[in-house]
Copies of this chain bind each other. A is one copy, B any other.
């Protein structure tokens, strides 16, 4: 999800891990060309679902578990424990489950830490996924969609007809560039330059004659460049797109002209957006639940049994006892209550857990304090017409900008319908904090003023309403995701959180290598569930 320093750092880390990974050695032995067997290439870490039968040999019955937080990790913990008959109670301080998996529809109300209250006025069928919004094919989240009967559809993460808009490199309002044009030019010049270097002998130490022939053949096709006799020159081509697309007789089409020179192309920095679509967690095809991401927590909540989920209940103290745990909490009516259970899974944001009085020990507290929250912010802009389809011929996908909007998302569903919600900005870090500190009206004003530069007048005139939020300032969550020490849940300081503290266990995307993804929350929950069950069977 991250396109920040964080993401870059995590990628570098993972690459380093891969070099020394144990399983890598096995796969390295599997022959030339980097081929692992098809059935093994998308493996999820092993997990054996629990079953009531697990207790038959022990004579024990399932224990009680209190779960702090009804986000994805908490819900999956209760769901998986429920399969073996554990008696789970989820305490969730918000008025809904899902945590950051939060879909805003007409009527959704939320008040931030500054006291800004918004009630979304989106029309029927329109929504904003304020938190997670996309699922990669290999992610375990899809398995839960299948198991729970949540239908999915394509999330339009990449679109050749979406725009790139970099004002810092000289693009002018009303003149964004389409992805397909930017890509044709970058790949065209990369091909021309590499073909020239290859042809001039500069790479003879690196490449055999066969290599050079194969490479040139690839470059000529891929980059739409001329052949040797043309000096491998890139002069544009149909991949850039057309000002008038080919039609009937007399209408051969007009390819977009005015090919920029090589200096302009690399100075424009359009290429910096291209690696996104190859990343292991972002490459298309990506998916989303039909009707909003919160179909997942809704289905989990139904499967767990709504009676086991106590909404509006904020924990105020966690006490570990030799034979169980006691959680003090305030219920939805403001009454102080306690709940005893055999075990506890703390599936809260770690920096908020650190603020909860507890007797889990200094090492746990030090670990929790080592994790810091990160910021991200979105605005949903509902429009009265889908002018981006009719006027811009953009059906979904993401427009990348160097404005502080960062990303602008076109909706992935409802094509050709009357209305639609554009994500007017999705940004991080200081930028997200800046927007978070504005009033909702100020956020809308800025989002529209900047978006208008890209898309023109209808970005303002067709607007129906908006809903915006910055996760850092949302009560009971206060962060979009988390920064781990060394970007790894296996950092030594976090050790106390990756194993049970007596009868208390921890779960969340923040305890995984896929922070900010439900995949990470789910696998962390599975790990906690397995550890809890192992301990329960042993004691």
Contacts and interface: CB of A to CB of B under 8 A. Distances in A.
B285 A28 contact: no
Interface stretch (A50-58, A323-331, A389-397, A400-408): A389-397
A41 to B, nearest CB: 6
Q: For A15, A139, A177, which residue has the most chain B Cβ atoms within 10 angstroms?
A: A15
A392 to B, nearest CB: 6
A278 B37 contact: no
Contacts of A185: 34
Given A193-B194, A416-B146, A272 B221 contact: yes
A114 interface: no
A211 interface: yes
B151 A154 contact: no
Interface in A148-168: 151-154, 156, 158-161, 163
15 contacts: A14-B238, A32-B264, A37-B175, A38-B176, A39-B392, A41-B241, A138-B161, A159-B284, A160-B284, A193-B197, A197-B202, A214-B269, A238-B279, A247-B519, A249-B524
Contacts of A249: 489-490, 494, 497-498, 511-513, 524, 527
B241 A280 contact: yes
Interface stretch (A116-124, A251-259, A342-350, A426-434): A251-259
Nearest to A220: B275
A196 interface: yes
A245 B211 contact: no
A242 B285 CA distance: 16
B194 A194 contact: yes
A255 to B, nearest CB: 3
A131 to B, nearest CB: 20
Interface in A475-505: 488-490, 494, 497-498
B174 A246 contact: no
A183 interface: yes
A31 interface: yes
A28 B243 CA distance: 11
B41 A243 contact: yes
Interface string A213-239: 011011101101000000000011111
Given A35-B177, A153-B415, A248 B524 contact: yes
Q: For A32, A34, A171, which residue has the most chain B Cβ atoms within 10 angstroms?
A: A34
A183 to B, nearest CB: 6
B241 A28 contact: no
B511 A45 contact: no
A243 to B, nearest CB: 5
Contacts of A257: 18, 21, 24-25, 27-28, 34, 36
Contact of A247 (B36, B264, B520): B520
A415 B45 CA distance: 23
Nearest to A259: B34
A244 B43 contact: yes
A137 B197 contact: no
B280 A33 contact: no
B184 A45 contact: no
A194 B494 CA distance: 42
A416 B285 contact: no
A188 to B, nearest CB: 10
Given A25-B257, A38-B176, A210-B263, 16 more contacts: A17-B252, A21-B253, A33-B170, A33-B177, A35-B176, A37-B175, A38-B175, A41-B393, A42-B242, A154-B412, A193-B215, A214-B267, A242-B280, A246-B514, A247-B519, A249-B524
A25 to B, nearest CB: 7
Contacts of A196: 203, 206
Given A33-B170, A35-B175, A514-B247, A18 B206 contact: no
